[in-house]
Structure 1
Amino acid sequence: MIKEEELDLLLNELFQRYGYDFTNYAKASLKRRVNRLLTIDRFTSFAELFYRIKNDPDYLTHLVEELTVNVTEMFRDPALFKTIREQVLPVLATHPFIRIWHAGCSTGEEVYSMAILLEEANLLHKSLLYATDINPSVIENIKKGLFPLSQMKQYSENYILSGGKKDFSSYYMTRYEWAKFDERFQSRMIVATHNLVSDRSFNEFQLIFCRNVLIYFDKELQDKVLTLFDNSLERLGFIVLGSKENLRFSEIAGSYAQMENKEKIWRKMR
């Protein structure tokens, strides 16, 4: 089991040597993930792991994958996507061009879910979806549009519950054990690495997704990231958070109103 001082040493090394700042992530969660890393990579001690980090830059990608949480699915929380379909998209439709930011998007299931909603609302042609994550290896998948075929049954059920009316399989082709989504979706996506801790705003958006990321941050970092989103969102734009996340006690709360059905969607009022 990693000790508190060892974790601090590890986080400091990651920041000083590679520029990854995990210092304001929830410590209990980080400890669990480092302990898991020690087990799966069969390190006999923390010293052995620390030596590997200092002397093997190629190991960094694997380390970042383990420290960041990459659990997602298409149309996750279907009721939320139904609200977006019915109440948010009609507002976005009034804009001449739509910019949407998926921050901490992991492998991109959420981004493709949103692209499908836009397609069905005849808005995809005038939209750009910015897909960003701190982990460069997971976002590479977004450019390929490949997802396990074994997940399609669950994704199809989520899609229907979100208000989808079409045959979900019409959006992809099967390749062995993979579902390959239509390239028209990828053509409307900009994929890049972005560190919510240290990087700045890079555009003005009408809609920002950041779901199930803030729960791993402490209060100080949550406020910092939410302020970044506030600076990146145009007036009357929308922020979508995860099911266990909230704007209510944040520094920007006074400028936002939550959707009446209590989904985790807030609209910027001023």
Structure 2
Amino acid sequence: MKEKLSNPELDKIEVMLLLEGIYRKYGYDFRKYAYASIKRRVLHRLQMEGLPTLSALQEQVLHDPLAFQRLLEDLMIPVTEMFRDPDAFLAFRQVVVPALRELPYIRIWHAGCSTGEEVYSTAIVLHEEGLLGKARIYATDISENALERAKSGVLPIERMKQYTQNYQKAGGKASFSEYYSSESGVVLLKPELRANLVFARHNLVTDRSFNEFHVIFCRNVMIYFEWPLRDQVQKLFYESLSDGGFLVLGNKESISFTPMADRYEVWNDPNRIYRKRK
């Protein structure tokens, strides 16, 4: 893409003014997200709208809610799949599930759940381990559109081969096809997988904890945050976990060098699974 901006200092001022305007007008706070990622997505929207400057984009976004929605979808591009990073789900099955067996009731939070594929992956693991009946999985995201897709339980038919391979690598105990039905080119996950799921909007930047959890998944979300925001969210997760609860991050994320680092045990380092010290 040919960039329309040329002065790095001025670019950053304009991008930050745009983000400040979005926060004040619509309540979405991207001001502490990683600048390089935000700038790239803003420039993409600038090109798609056919506008000459970021100032023009800001004017359009602040006066036209539909233009804001288009930019919002660019800023929150979902990247997810069933059993994404299969080794992480295999590790969850092997090193976290045994601890969950000891609990009378299980509460799990998928923070930044996107369109829900990893939420349903967790539900399948719990089902196969005989734990889904006593579990409640809370799945939250900032995007209403992503949540609506997640609630539907619809999967892209063109991804099913990859999803089946991921499931097998993640230690699946059955045939992946047992968990969905396919008709007229539409793949729909079985209703029993959705029975214990709760989908709700939650903003990690501005919202607080809403329960105490035994497991929190937040995978490949904080890579888009600047360090101050990462520390803020890490504190939120720590306060939301029960003693002995598990935090599961993406494989490019870590609690190292955060204020919370010494408050966890490293439970499975390759797959970024940590356990809150009792």
TM interval, shorter chain, is: over 0.9
Contact 2:250 2:271 in 1 (8 A): no
SS of alignment partner, residue 173 of structure 1: strand
Q: Which residue of 1 aligns with 2:205?
A: 197
CA apart distance, 1:165 = 2.3
Counterpart among 252, 255, 262 of residue 260 in structure 2: 252
Contact 1:131 1:191 in 2 (8 A): yes
Q: Using structure 2 for the length normalisation, give the TM-score.
A: 0.94
1:217 and 2:225 equivalent? yes
Give me the whole-angstrom Cα distance separating, in 1, the residues matched to 2:56 and 2:46. 9
**Alignment length, in residue pairs?**
270
Contact 2:216 2:246 in 1 (8 A): yes
Structure 1: which 4+ aligned runs deviate by more than 4 Å? Answer: none
Q: Which residue of 1 aligns with 2:187?
A: 179
1:126 and 2:134 equivalent? yes
Question: Structure 1, residues 51-92: CA drift from partner, whole Å, max 9, x if none?
Answer: 221111233332221112310111111111111111111111
CA apart distance, 1:17 = 0.7
1:32 and 2:40 equivalent? yes
Give me the whole-angstrom Cα distance separating, in 2, the residues matched to 1:231 and 1:177. 44
- Percent sequence identity is 46
1:82 and 2:74 equivalent? no
Contact 1:61 1:137 in 2 (8 A): no
Q: Which residue of 2 aligns with 1:236?
A: 244
Contact 2:106 2:135 in 1 (8 A): yes
Q: Which residue of 2 aligns with 1:99?
A: 107
Give me the whole-angstrom Cα distance separating, in 2, the residues matched to 1:230 and 1:261. 18
Give ranges in structure 2 of 5+ residues lacking alignment: 6-10
For the aligned residue pairs, the C-alpha RMSD in angstroms reads 1.2
CA apart distance, 1:259 = 1.9
Q: Name which of structure 1's ranges 52-61 and 77-86 shifts more when overlaid on structure 2.
A: 52-61
Question: Structure 1, residues 216-246: CA drift from partner, whole Å, max 9, x if none?
Answer: 1111000000000000000000000011101
Contact 2:268 2:274 in 1 (8 A): no
Counterpart among 163, 169, 176 of residue 171 in structure 2: 163
Contact 2:128 2:173 in 1 (8 A): no
Give ranges in structure 1 of 5+ residues lacking alignment: none
* Amino acid paired to 1:157: Q
Q: Using structure 1 for the length normalisation, give the TM-score.
A: 0.97
Q: Which residue of 2 aligns with 1:64?
A: 72
Q: Name which of structure 1's ranges 39-48 and 179-188 shifts more when overlaid on structure 2.
A: 39-48
SS of alignment partner, residue 65 of structure 2: coil
CA apart distance, 1:98 = 0.7
Contact 2:107 2:138 in 1 (8 A): yes
Give me the whole-angstrom Cα distance separating, in 1, the residues matched to 2:66 and 2:44. 19
